[in-house]
Structure 1
Amino acid sequence: MRLSEIDPALPLTPLDGRYRAQVAPLVDHLSEAALNRTRIIVETEWMIHLLDQGAIPGLRSLTEEERTLLRQIPEDFGAEGIAEHAEIERETVHDVKAVEYYIKRRLAGTSLEPLAEIVHIYCTSEDINNLSYALMIKGALEDVWLPALRDLTADIAQLARECADIPMLSRTHGQAATPTTLGKELAVFAYRLKRQIARLEADEILGKINGATGTWAAHAVSVPGTDWPAIAKSFVEHLGLTWNPLTTQIESHDWQAEIYSDVARAGRILHNLATDMWTYISLGYFRQRLSAQGGTGSSTMPHKVNPIRFENAEANLEISGALFDVLAQTLVTSRLQRDLTDSTTQRNIAPAFGHSLLAISNLKRGLAGLDTDAEQMARDLDANWEVLGEAVQSAMRTLGIQGVEGMDSPYERLKELTRGKRVDGHAMREFITSLGLPEKERERLLALTPATYVGLASSLVDYLED
């Protein structure tokens, strides 16, 4: 049996197969059906706008019932409507023209039938498409993707607060380094993500409706007395978008590239989070609850609980990042006044957001299934007293420049004691005692341990509240 012949059709990609539940909310915004529904919204709203604004002299205004009728067309666009549109498109071999005919069918036999030719009047397909994609991406961001990222960021921030006082050995270049707290390190990620969320919230989403080459030529020759740029501006803004007055046939898509770069950057921060959490798990700083991570750890090694949520997130963020990069690079170029490169490219917006949303879902589930192991972190700290070398040499330097004798070559003396060596608490305290420090400084350094040498780390989590 050929799998391609099974009815109903089998999904080709995992987003429409095993991961469907996690990405299903995007179907309302970024699917092919959503594109056609949004095209119907733009077409019907354009008709309403032209008549309400009196853009074409001699035409009557709409009744409230007629406005309701027009706005009900996209509302009723379900399974039957999708099939009907597909049937029309097989005849037209043009998806936007099929939308026009779909709407006109619904005006037939109504009071709007005499006005049916207003549907798609003065419009090129790109007038409808650019506004549709703008509304779709706006909806996907505001209703699905940003809320998911905000929820995840809130979870990270909450975990940071809970772990603000848990000391942890840092690792720079993979080597033991000045201690921190687990909460402070998590707060770094929450802070980074909050900045990206703010950038995305401020990004403009542009739209245009100015004809075949951006000149309102058909508009002006047909109705020369109407202020077409003003009509276009008010229509685009009525849709909740920012008007772009200067375009070719296509809206330039620069705003899309800006958003995709911001989403991809947020994804790379999440990727960094995933790899760090994976590493902390491998160090034993977190224990995983199997019930939250997955039903089976390993198919052959019963003792294992694999960090699959974080590994899944890594892979999906790499895929989404690559797709967003291609979208951002490709969409800003169009040959002369128009080519169709953007048409195919934009049909891959959904997979880019889908893989990103799937990663966010896995990170959220992964974090929810972790328990901190403060005792393991404490053991790790106690095995690395050499990290106090920085504290001792810094105190010696300070005393030296303040005129205290015997504080010469502090860095070199600590390097001789600690570089490439493991130093225990006894050896570090003996060294501190031998330095001839003033009593106050000596007692402060003798009281210091790797677990208490965390600086202001605990309080830095409070900056998340700003």
Structure 2
Amino acid sequence: MTERGPLYAVSPLDGRYARYTEPLTDYASEAALMCARVEVEVEYLIALADLDATPLSLTETTRENLRDCYREFDAEDADVIKQLETSGYGDYEATNHDVKAIEYFIRMYLPDEDEQGPWVHFGLTSEDVNNLAHRLLVKPAVEDVLVPEIRSIRDALADSAREHRDVPMLARTHGQPATPTTYGKELAVYAARLGQALGRLEAAADGITGKLAGASGTYAAHEAAYPDVDWQAVSRSFVESLGLEWRALSTQVNPCDDLAAVFDALRGVNNVLRDLDLDMWLYVSDRYLGQKSVAGETGSSTMPHKVNPIDFENSEGNLTKANSDLTFLADYVTTSRLQRDLSDSTVKRNIGSAFAYCLIAYEKTQRGLSKVTPNEAVMQESLDDNPEVIGEAVQTILRREGDTEAYERIKALTRGQRATLADFRELFDDLDVDESVKAELRALSPAGYTGIGAELVDELDN
């Protein structure tokens, strides 16, 4: 029988989009979780050996060999752990428990299992290992995979904003022609928003916490075995050695408010990008933006001429899916029946999927941005076709000159009807104002009525 490949994957994350999601493999796969659990168990075992109170002794060679269990973790190791859990391996019967399988895996690497084996997983509950392992994966997945992609989009927007800072463009409020802006300034708004959202995400990732306090968060087993040891200090030192903040108060479960903050911050990033996708789509639809065609690419199965904004559409869909998952995760992982129930375990296995939908969307947004360029001729034509947008400037200048009917005068000329520049000039000729004011009014044009839009791009550097 022919081996089935990615085309038979149940999820598009491992099938159609596998080339985009591959960077998350080291943080979101089952093997990655196994490796992180091994790291937690190994480092905890070494920490126990460093306590004067325990008789456990590990040579430097043994310590390095143990650390190689996670430093050089590979597919063969993952397969051994899975066998320990499901079918048994060597002298070990099947555990039917994923964390217990990790314990036995580590015991296999001890030079004296009879003496040293009992210290593996000493005093711990599975959630002590799992909460730390998950966070050892979530933190770098955000910081090393997602954040660089978001920053790349932000930088691309900022660069394009600077390049096109002076390109005038008709703005639309409520979908209707409004006070002109510049294309660069609009991109700068998104770059600034994305930068702020990115800052919130980085702060949330930096605040990820870990707990190690036993079956109900009381250190009961530890205290029973060694009541003279300051187990809170040991726990804090150990958690912080893993690069996480220490959580002093917990049940068996780390309450996961820290993870919820990460998910919510990611949603904030995604909301900015989805807003960007929608606007870019509309700019393409209005022909304000042209798209570079890709050789050999088909836009429509029946209309050969089409170059569709597929990257922005794809990004929009994946961002929406990601946010749906992130909302669910943030709501779910912060609740637990009493001291612990198991429902969160299967839910947390889907964190990687939510991150993967984010990553696909970020790739697509970047691709979409790389393919668009301002169609300045169309933008100018649109401005020329809507001279009524200078009405705001006209009535504001007339207000300055003391005209109490300024707004009503321009409203009568423009609201619900097309007004030409000739119509405005005819109005200017009849105004009872100084000739210098009339000259000021005649000099107005839609393309020139962009305020300090171009200069506002400089705020990106502040």
TM, length-normalised to structure 2:
0.95
What letter matches 2:241 in structure 1? H
SS of the residue corresponding to residue 294 of structure 2 reads helix
Whole-Å separation in 1 of the counterparts to 2:3 and 2:336? 39
Structure 1 outlier segments of 4+, above 6 Å: none
Whole-Å separation in 2 of the counterparts to 1:364 and 1:422? 39
Deviates more, 1:121-130 or 1:420-429: 420-429
Q: Retained in 2: the 8 A contact 1:207–1:243? A: yes
Structure 2: runs of 5 or more not aligned: 87-93
Q: Retained in 2: the 8 A contact 1:392–1:432? A: no
Whole-Å separation in 1 of the counterparts to 2:243 and 2:433? 68
Q: Which of residues 226, 231, 235 in structure 1 aligns to 2:234?
A: 231
Whole-Å separation in 1 of the counterparts to 2:133 and 2:457? 42
Distance 1:274 1:218, change over 3 A: same
1:293-349, Cα deviation, whole Å (9 max, x unpaired) = x81111110000011000000100010000000001111110100011211111110
Q: Which residue of 1 aligns with 2:283?
A: 280
Please state how far the C-alpha of 1:112 moved relative to its aligned partner.
Answer: 6.9
What letter matches 2:270 in structure 1? G
SS of the residue corresponding to residue 92 of structure 1 reads coil
Whole-Å separation in 2 of the counterparts to 1:232 and 1:386? 69
Distance 1:123 1:427, change over 3 A: same
SS of the residue corresponding to residue 106 of structure 1 reads coil
SS of the residue corresponding to residue 178 of structure 1 reads strand
Q: Which residue of 1 aligns with 2:156?
A: 155
What letter matches 2:279 in structure 1? D
SS of the residue corresponding to residue 164 of structure 1 reads coil
Distance 1:7 1:452, change over 3 A: closer
What's the % identity of the aligned pairs? 46
Please state how far the C-alpha of 1:6 moved relative to its aligned partner.
Answer: 5.6
SS of the residue corresponding to residue 177 of structure 1 reads strand
Q: Retained in 2: the 8 A contact 1:291–1:369? A: no
Q: Which residue of 1 aligns with 2:341?
A: 339
Q: Which residue of 2 aligns with 1:404?
A: none
Establish whether residue 263 from structure 1 lines up as the match of residue 248 from structure 2: no
Q: Retained in 1: the 8 A contact 2:107–2:113? A: no
What letter matches 1:397 in structure 2? R
What letter matches 1:149 in structure 2? I
SS of the residue corresponding to residue 397 of structure 1 reads helix
Establish whether residue 243 from structure 1 lines up as the match of residue 246 from structure 2: yes
Q: Retained in 1: the 8 A contact 2:429–2:438? A: yes
Q: Which residue of 2 aligns with 1:116?
A: 117
Q: Which residue of 2 aligns with 1:133?
A: 134
Map 1:380-459; keep pairs closer than 5 Å.
Answer: 380-400=382-402, 407-459=403-455
Structure 1: runs of 5 or more not aligned: 401-406
Deviates more, 1:171-180 or 1:88-97: 88-97
Please state how far the C-alpha of 1:85 moved relative to its aligned partner.
Answer: 1.0
Whole-Å separation in 2 of the counterparts to 1:376 and 1:58? 79
Q: Which residue of 1 aligns with 2:374?
A: 372
Whole-Å separation in 1 of the counterparts to 2:4 and 2:275? 42
Whole-Å separation in 2 of the counterparts to 1:459 and 1:49? 57
Please state how far the C-alpha of 1:442 moved relative to its aligned partner.
Answer: 2.2
What letter matches 1:217 in structure 2? A
Q: Which residue of 1 aligns with 2:91?
A: none
Root mean square deviation of aligned Cα: 1.6
